[in-house]
């Protein structure tokens, strides 16, 4: 079973991967089959829905990589971590905090995103 650091690394990698096949592999590695994602702007259901949502988001900020800014901080079946979206060495164009439930197999099953500075 992957630990939560591996899963969150895989989550960030999925948001950064624009090759459809490799992204889909990362999404499957990160999210349980019944996973959901919800933030103020986007939502996705299941592996297919979340993959499609990420593909759409990537078109809005092409070339801006996500990186982990803090965490993961996990207890029981809960985790939070912070991320930023910035060109290398530049000011972030977006920052956020994600909260998720961890499924029994270690993958994420319900993710809520919050945006900083909104």
Residues at the contact surface with a copy of itself, assessed by CB under 8 A: 38-40, 73, 75-76, 78, 80, 97, 99, 112, 114, 118
Q: Cβ 97 to a copy of itself, closest distance in Å?
A: 7
Any residues with CB less than 8 A from the CB of 19 and at least 6 apart, and which?
A: none
Q: Is 34 in a helix, a strand, or coil?
A: strand
| β-bridge mates for residue 34, sequence order | none
C-alpha dihedral sign at 103, 105, 106, 111? negative
Q: Cβ 111 to a copy of itself, closest distance in Å?
A: 10
Q: Cβ 64 to a copy of itself, closest distance in Å?
A: 22
Q: Which is nearer to a copy of itself, 26 or 102 (CB)?
A: 102
Burial letters 49-67, b for 16+ CB under 10 A, else e: bbbebbeebbeeeeebebe
Q: Which is nearer to a copy of itself, 62 or 75 (CB)?
A: 75
Q: Cβ 116 to a copy of itself, closest distance in Å?
A: 9
Q: Which is nearer to a copy of itself, 18 or 43 (CB)?
A: 43
Cβ atoms 36, 90 nearer than 8 A: no
Q: Which is nearer to a copy of itself, 76 or 91 (CB)?
A: 76
């Amino acid at each position: 079973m992957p630990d939560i650091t591996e899963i969150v690394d895989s989550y960030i990698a999925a948001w950064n991967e624009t090759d459809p096949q490799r992204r889909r592999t990362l999404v499957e590695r990160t999210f349980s089959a019944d996973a959901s994602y919800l933030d103020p702007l986007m939502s996705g259901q299941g592996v297919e829905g979340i993959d499609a949502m990420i593909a759409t988001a990537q078109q809005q900020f092409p070339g801006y990589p996500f990186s982990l800014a803090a965490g993961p901080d996990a207890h029981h079946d809960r985790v939070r971590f912070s991320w930023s979206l910035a060109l290398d060495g530049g000011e972030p164009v977006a920052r956020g905090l994600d909260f998720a439930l961890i499924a029994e197999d270690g993958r994420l099953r319900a993710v809520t995103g919050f945006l900083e500075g909104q």
